[in-house]
Amino acid sequence: MPFVRNAWYVASFARDLGDSPLAATILGDEVVLWRGADGQPRALENLCPHRFLPLSKGRVRGDNLQCGYHGLTFDGGGGCVGAPTQDAPPAKCAVRAYPVAERMGLVWIWMGDASRADESEIYDLPEYHQDDWAVAHGDALDVTANYLLLCDNLCDPTHVNYVHPSTLGNPDEINAPVTHRETSWGVLTERLTSDSAPTGFIRAVNNDDSRVDMWQRYLMYAPSTSIIDFGGAGAGTGGFEGGGERRVQIFSCHFMTPVTEDRTIDRWLHVRDFDIGDDGAGERISEQFRIAFAEDKEILEAIQQQEDRHSGRGKIGLDLDASAGLFRRRIDRMIRTEARTAAAA
Ligand code: FES
Ligand SMILES: [Fe+2]
């Protein structure tokens, strides 16, 4: 299935992009990213038009990127600005450039029609920037599975009791009802669990075993950003509405970048409203997420393998699939719209 192209995807953590060229495969395209002397990220197709050496084998020169074979030099717009071995570069010496921008400690890349790239459409979580919230950047989780399998998982609060029993699952195995609805940006799936023993995660944060009301709000933004707003407060103290005793809230953010049809990089981070300024706490929480996300990875890779083995075979449906189904239909519509627009052009 084709990808949604006219969208911003995460190409890298900002921390991983320095003044050495960085190769990446995104939606099957081979790109090279670098940060110029001015600190700005840039991205080109990773191919020198001369002998096809990947430009990632070259070096950064000021704001530009120089091929490592004969020194053709390209600016961030893909134009050739230097051919050291001759007086002037040949006509038509250019490389495809991709719009890039930085937001939330991430480098974003626009993979579609460059004339439609609008930085104001890049996802941004307001709390990420607020002083009374703390941020911890996590890892780049490499999953050998199609990104839509990850999206299915991130439209589905019910799986946590079975996949993440020690961290995010509810120890009472309460199966509270799940609601979902389509929004202007994707699909929101919500589950409110009243008067439960705390999950391992919330017990560790509060160092307290007493009963809690917990919420999971899964915000799945098309095409591939997932924000999980979850937390808990003392049972019956009004935690769902924003107050509540011992209330803690976390935004667990996943930015999924399809590498190819069957491989996805999930870069994750979290934003929380407790233990502000305590990087050690941030790292301890990330460690809990690392355990949980490794559990998801194992499940999704196993599913991808079986899907490949049993391609065409029908599956049964469950009520819990409704949310993921809504999201997949939306992705289908986006892909069809892009194809129609491209055909018209
Ligand atoms: S291969 Fe790039 S300059 Fe020759
Ligand atoms: Fe999970």
Write the DSSP assignment of 195-264 as a string of letters: EEPPPHHHHHHHT--S-EEEEEEEEEETTTEEEEEEEEEETTS-GGGT--TT-EEEEEEEEEEEEETTEE
Class of domain 8-120: mainly beta
The mean of the pLDDT values for the chain is: 96
In the chain, CATH 3.90.380.10 covers: 125-335
15 lines ligand 1 (CB under 6 A): no
Identify which of 98-102, 174-178, 236-240 has the greatest average pLDDT.
98-102
Which of 45, 64, 69 for a ligand 1 pocket mutation test, highest count of atoms within 8 Å of Cβ? 69
In the chain, CATH 2.102.10.10 covers: 8-120
CA–CA gap between residue 94 and residue 80 (Å, rounded)? 6
Given phi > 0 = left and psi -120 to 50 = alpha, else beta, which region is 221? Answer: beta
**Cis peptide preceding 41, ω within 30 of 0:** no
Which of 44, 59, 70, 74 for a ligand 1 pocket mutation test, highest count of atoms within 8 Å of Cβ? 70
Q: What is the residue with the minimal CA distance to atom 4 of ligand 1?
A: 70
CA–CA gap between residue 252 and residue 60 (Å, rounded)? 34
Question: By mean pLDDT, which of 134-138, 242-246, 312-316, 323-327 is the weakest?
Answer: 242-246
Domain 125-335 architecture: Alpha-Beta Complex (3.90)
72 lines ligand 1 (CB under 6 A): yes
53 lines ligand 1 (CB under 6 A): yes
* pTM score of the predicted model: 0.96
Q: Which of the four pLDDT bands, split at 50, 70 and 90, describes residue 242?
A: confident
| Ligand that lies nearest to the alpha carbon of residue 58, given by its number in the listed order | 1
Relative to the CA of 51, which ligand 1 atom is closest?
A: 1
